[in-house]
Structure 1
Amino acid sequence: MSGSTRVESDEKSLPEVSLIIPVYDEEENIGVLVSEIADALAEIRYEAIFIDDGSRDGTLSELTTARHEHPELRIIKLKRNWGKSTALMMGFEAALAPVCITLDGDLQDDPAEIPAFLEAISRGSDLVCGWRDKRRDGISKRLPSNIYNALGRWTLRTRLKDMNCGFKAFDSNLAKSLNLYGDMHRYIPVLCKMKGAVISEIPVNHRPRRHGRSKYGSKRLLRGILDMFTVGFLLSFLERPLHLFGRIGLLFSLAGAVTGGYLVFLKYSTGAAIG
């Protein structure tokens, strides 16, 4: 009887949701974000896992200070900047709750939306993607993102309106099964689709950046587009694996035909012996 009671107590003490928040040089945003999360989840057991991805400013100090007042905070410190995919995987692996929610640490994602994500997950979705219906960014970020999403819908055969939004909710088992590296976090919906996940999308409030500067740039866009075609290639041939071997065979056939034609040309134009 005592053993059964102890298990029940442990289950009640576990968080209902794990927030996964990668941060890089966001010292001015930490205090506000932590307070907003506490207000939004006042009636929900949660843990907020902040992954400091090699920040060079006072981000770690701000997180340490905030943890004194908010014991729900957990901090993972990376010695250098590994990138968002690695930071997310570190958070997923550490998560204790059955649901993981990812959001950015720049205050553009509104923690007040978290209950809506939890409601969508409770209706049977394995992955819920945020859709920044009214995006509060400058044209330099919105235009590349619109192009990127349009290419993504065409290349990856997805109907999501905002594939690249970082505000997402996951069944934790699904999140932990992902293998993210490089810039593959951009293609989480497609990777989850390949695992048979039920995916939905909800509109979310998007806010302008208050402090710091965006980490987005043209190099990231180019890498993202290249990765997009890589994922599209994998998706296509996972669904129809024999097509891969057919195309490889076609390439070898074409190479053989070109080589044979060249040798015949040499034979009759120069009289050179072949074979």
Structure 2
Amino acid sequence: MEAMSKQGSERRPPPAQLAIVVPAFNERENVASLIHALDRALSGIDWEVVFVDDDSPDGTATRVRELAQRDARVRVLQRVGRRGLASACIEGMLATASPYIAVIDCDLQHDEMLLPPMLDQLRSGEIDLVVGTRYSSGGSVADWARDRARASRLATRFAVWLTKIPMSDPMSGFFMLTRASFERSLPHLSSVGFKILLDLILSAPDPLRLAELPYAFRARRHGDSKMDSLVLWEFAQLLLEKLTGGRIPLRFFSFALVGLVGLFVHILTFMLVYVIGMAPFSTAQIVATAVAITNNFFLNNKLTYRDQRLRGRALLRGWLTFNLVCVTGAVANINIAQWLIVHNNYWLWSAAAGALVSVVWNYGMSSVFTWRRRLSA
């Protein structure tokens, strides 16, 4: 019995000192190449790679499992019913016990040869977080289109100016940190959006000791980029949340901003129907309300709940529940405003209070009934 136990322990691979977390969506063609690149770059280091796949329709998770059958260092965490780079990174980090954790994209645009020097910096005990930077001497952004490069640099400058973080590339998606640093930031992470690095830094209770290493950002080999203009929207939300100390949820900022857009849509529709179309006042108000609610639903589905976006039949169900929630909120708005105007006789504060109650109600109830979080299988 002791002999069998000894043989089992001899066959067991050594515990991984470094875990590489790879968020993935439709990256089937890149998985094997990335594993090969990591194997070449991390020679002599005990490592593992955790692919966090958001139920890719191209079979990314299936491909990772096939490779994991031949390599015990490869694992996959398949998430069903939810998406998002930040939350994928967090779940991947929680799924490993390694004392050092790296995040790298699956598209082979990050330079995996930078991982060993990153690890050396962390092992010195003097650094908590090492970031791969595209914007210091020796770094580059490959052949990006002019608009994308300009938007990235603008967002970078704004983040540095606003947060006072002494970094050249706070928007980087390629970094390595100690588990202790991750766990200190964990309770305050928003987990929404693409900019997990900035979230980690701003969520740390004490300033992290930072280092940057330059690298050349490479062109994607297979598949399409997941980055789009909505990343800037999520970036703005993240900064707003952190600037308020996390007292107001990130999603609420987006929900409220969409509500302001809906207000303009309501007014414009009302004018078109009542003033130009010469319809009765009540008819114009009903049409404008319906159009504004529908506008808010689709904008929130695309922006506020991007990681829980409704599709297919769920889209119709979501639209119906959102209408019910908003109608109830509108009734509450009117009743509260009416009660306040009777008791304090100041119409502006009465109207504002009614609107605030309506927004909070719509946000809370739609989170529960319209975009309720589905459990992964």
Q: Which of the five TM-score ranges fits, normalised by the shorter chain? A: 0.7 to 0.9
Is the 2:201–2:208 contact (alpha carbons within 8 Å) kept by the matching residues of 1? no
Is the 1:25–1:57 contact (alpha carbons within 8 Å) kept by the matching residues of 2? yes
Aligned CA-pair RMSD: 2.6
Report the identity percentage: 23
Is the 1:189–1:199 contact (alpha carbons within 8 Å) kept by the matching residues of 2? no
**Aligned mates of 1:99, 1:186 — CA distance in 2:** 15
Deviations 1:27-64 (CA, angstroms, capped at 9, x unpaired): 11111111101111121111101101221112112211
Picking from 128, 134, 146, the partner of 2:140 is 134
SS at 2:69 equivalent: helix
Q: How do 1:152-171 and structure 2 match up within 5 A? A: 152-171=159-178
Picking from 192, 208, 212, the partner of 1:182 is 192
Is 2:97 the partner of 1:96?
yes
Is 2:154 the partner of 1:147?
yes
Per mean C-alpha deviation after superposition, the further-off stretch among 189-198 and 139-148 is 189-198
SS at 1:220 equivalent: helix
CA offset at residue 194 of structure 1? 3.7
Unaligned runs of 5+ in 1: 236-261, 264-275
CA offset at residue 9 of structure 1? 8.4
Is the 2:99–2:178 contact (alpha carbons within 8 Å) kept by the matching residues of 1? yes
Aligned residue pairs total 233
CA offset at residue 141 of structure 1? 2.4
Question: Does the C-alpha gap of structure 1 residues 165 and 15 become closer, same or farther in structure 2, counting only changes over 3 Å?
Answer: same
**Aligned mates of 2:211, 2:148 — CA distance in 1:** 24
Deviations 1:109-158 (CA, angstroms, capped at 9, x unpaired): 12111101101112321111110120123223221111110110111111
Is the 1:186–1:224 contact (alpha carbons within 8 Å) kept by the matching residues of 2? no
CA offset at residue 15 of structure 1? 0.8
Is the 2:132–2:174 contact (alpha carbons within 8 Å) kept by the matching residues of 1? yes
Question: Does the C-alpha gap of structure 1 residues 215 and 188 become closer, same or farther in structure 2, counting only changes over 3 Å?
Answer: same
**Aligned mates of 1:167, 1:212 — CA distance in 2:** 19
CA offset at residue 16 of structure 1? 1.2
| Paired amino acid for 1:75 | V
In the superposition, the TM-score normalised over structure 1's length comes to 0.77
Per mean C-alpha deviation after superposition, the further-off stretch among 61-70 and 27-36 is 61-70
| Paired amino acid for 2:207 | G
SS at 1:18 equivalent: strand
Deviations 1:207-243 (CA, angstroms, capped at 9, x unpaired): 11111111111122122123223223329xxxxxxxx
Deviations 1:52-87 (CA, angstroms, capped at 9, x unpaired): 122111211221122123210011000134201111
**Aligned mates of 2:26, 2:149 — CA distance in 1:** 22
Runs of 4+ in 1 over 4 A off after TM superposition: 8-12
**Aligned mates of 1:51, 1:19 — CA distance in 2:** 11
Unaligned runs of 5+ in 2: 247-345, 348-377
**Aligned mates of 1:127, 1:192 — CA distance in 2:** 13
SS at 1:13 equivalent: coil
CA offset at residue 198 of structure 1? 1.3
In the superposition, the TM-score normalised over structure 2's length comes to 0.57
CA offset at residue 193 of structure 1? 4.8
**Aligned mates of 1:188, 1:93 — CA distance in 2:** 16
CA offset at residue 191 of structure 1? 2.4
CA offset at residue 18 of structure 1? 0.7
**Aligned mates of 1:170, 1:71 — CA distance in 2:** 23
Is the 1:51–1:77 contact (alpha carbons within 8 Å) kept by the matching residues of 2? yes
| Paired amino acid for 1:57 | D
